[in-house]
Amino acid sequence: MSTWGRLNRGETQIDFVGNRRRWFIISGVLLAISIASLGVRQLNLGIEFVGGAEMRADNPAGADVADVRSAMDDAGIGGAVIQMLDDGEAVRVTMGELDEDEADSAADALSVVTGSDRSDISAQTVGPEFGSLVLRRSLTALAVFIGVVILFISWRLEFKMALAGIAALIHDLLITVGVYSLTGFNVTPATVVAVLTILGYSLYDTVVVFDKVSELVDAEDKMTYGDIVNRAMNLVLGRSLYTSLTSLLPVGSILFVGSFILGASTLLDFALALFVGIAAGTYSSVTVAAPLLAVWKETEDLWVERADWVARRVKSGKS
């Protein structure tokens, strides 16, 4: 009988709660790497957050990084970051804050060196104050979202489940941000959106597991809380994996099309965060949220008594 077959019938027998030490160590290592990376490398915040200017031009003249750099230097723009896109077919130049005249001469210089039309150059300039406003708003949205979700899950299920879910969510969040820090990917408002979306996914996955747990708690009176959680997770494991797969496939295709075929950078910003976040979300609802909940609930009097009772039954041979 194949693993896939058992998965499809919800007959897997994985002991998620019993193996929690292993899961917690894996998560702990991932978290430690993320936090260390955040401390050392920080995040590559996009100009939308820190202010500055970014220009993008096609490159029919085939200019290389050095050509573009000397052109920018000649135009009086120092410290520009120059990136080749699409195998050198396009150029992206990121600069500090520019006034209108500087922006104008930068665009002129870029147009000459790359041989692309002046009107075909895409440009974005952002003031630093606005950037911090966007960041503040995003963080507010995040805080409000977490608050509302705690209320929603507490109402729909129970408070401890809400906290366990939020713990898993913060886990996913840190890992996603850690990946951004490690890879040096640009963090843009699009990334923030993607991160907020992940929160939805991560929580939804957790809610489905917990929903099953509370259904089994009502139905079973001869199982410990840990066993109930294990049973629930094995029952919904197939769904969790298929859901993640069907969510990852479209996102993965954005990542693939975006990075290998067309180089549409906004799409990429979304896709990387979504991809990492959904993967981490599926993983954490099974290995972080549920074991945490089990550990916590098993300290309650009712469940301590139940565990003792089950242990006595096993000892006396009645199972």
Partner 1 sequence: MARRIVGLLVVLAIAWGGLAAAVASGLTPKLGLDLQGGTEVILSAEEGTTGEAIEVAIDIMTRRIEGFGNVQEPTIQQSGDEIVVVQLPGVEDEQLAIEVVGQTGILSFRPVFDAVPGEIGPLAGTGTENIDDETGLTVDDDINADEAWLLYSDAQFGSEVLDVGPAALEGADVSDAVPFFEPNSAVWGVNLELTGEGAGKFASVTALAAAFPVGDPRRQIAIVLDGDVVSAPAVNPDVSPETGISGGQATITTGQGDGAQDEANQLASVLRYGALPVEFEVSEVNKVSGTLGADSLQAGILAGVAGLILVAIVLLIVYRALGIVAIVGLTVFGATLIALFGLFGRALGVTLTLAGVTGIIVSVGITADSYIVYFERVKENLRAGYAVADAAREGFTRAFRTILTADTVSLLAASLLWVLAVGAVKGFAISLGIATVLDIFVARFFTKRAVGLLADSALGTGGRFSIEGAAR
Q: Which position among 14, 25, 242, 308 is part of the footprint of partner 1 (CB under 8 A)? A: 242
- 35 vs 238, beta carbon nearer partner 1: 238
9 binds partner 1 (CB under 8 A): yes
230 binds partner 1 (CB under 8 A): no
CA gap 72, 66 in Å, rounded:
10
- 30 vs 271, beta carbon nearer partner 1: 271
CA gap 50, 193 in Å, rounded:
17
Q: Which position among 2, 3, 13, 246 is part of the footprint of partner 1 (CB under 8 A)? A: 246
- Report, in Å, the least distance between residue 40 CB and partner 1: 29
Q: What are phi and psi of 81, to 5 degrees?
A: -100, 125
132 binds partner 1 (CB under 8 A): no
DSSP codes of every residue in the chain: --HHHHHHHT-----TTTTHHHHHHHHHHHHHHHHHHHHHT--EE-HHHH-EEEEEEE-TT---HHHHHHHHHHTT--S-EEEEETTTTEEEEEES---HHHHHHHHHHHHHHHT--GGG-EEEEE-HHHHHHHHHHHHHHHHHHHHHHHHHHHHHS-HHHHHHHHHHHHHHHHHHHHHHHHHTPEE-HHHHHHHHHHHHHHHHHHHHHHHHHHHHHHH-SSS-HHHHHHHHHHHHHHHHHHHHHHHHHHHHHHHHIIIIII--HHHHHHHHHHHHHHHHHHHHIIIIIHHHHHHHHTTSHHHHHHHHHHHHHHHTT--
Under rule CB under 8 A, which residues in 248-307 are in contact with partner 1?
248-254, 256-258, 261-262, 264, 266-267, 270-271, 274, 278
319 binds partner 1 (CB under 8 A): no
138 binds partner 1 (CB under 8 A): yes
Q: Which position among 122, 300, 308, 314 is part of the footprint of partner 1 (CB under 8 A)? A: 122
- Report, in Å, the least distance between residue 312 CB and partner 1: 31
- 237 vs 293, beta carbon nearer partner 1: 237
Number of residues that bind partner 1 (CB under 8 A): 73
- Report, in Å, the least distance between residue 251 CB and partner 1: 7
Of 15-23, 146-154, 281-289, 290-298, the segment contacting partner 1 by CB under 8 A is 146-154
Q: Which position among 125, 234, 285, 287 is part of the footprint of partner 1 (CB under 8 A)? A: 125
Under rule CB under 8 A, which residues in 151-210 are in contact with partner 1?
152, 156, 189-190, 192-193, 196-197, 199-200, 203-204, 207-208
Q: What are phi and psi of 99, to 5 degrees?
A: -85, 180
127 binds partner 1 (CB under 8 A): yes
- Report, in Å, the least distance between residue 38 CB and partner 1: 23
Q: Which position among 67, 102, 108, 211 is part of the footprint of partner 1 (CB under 8 A)? A: 211
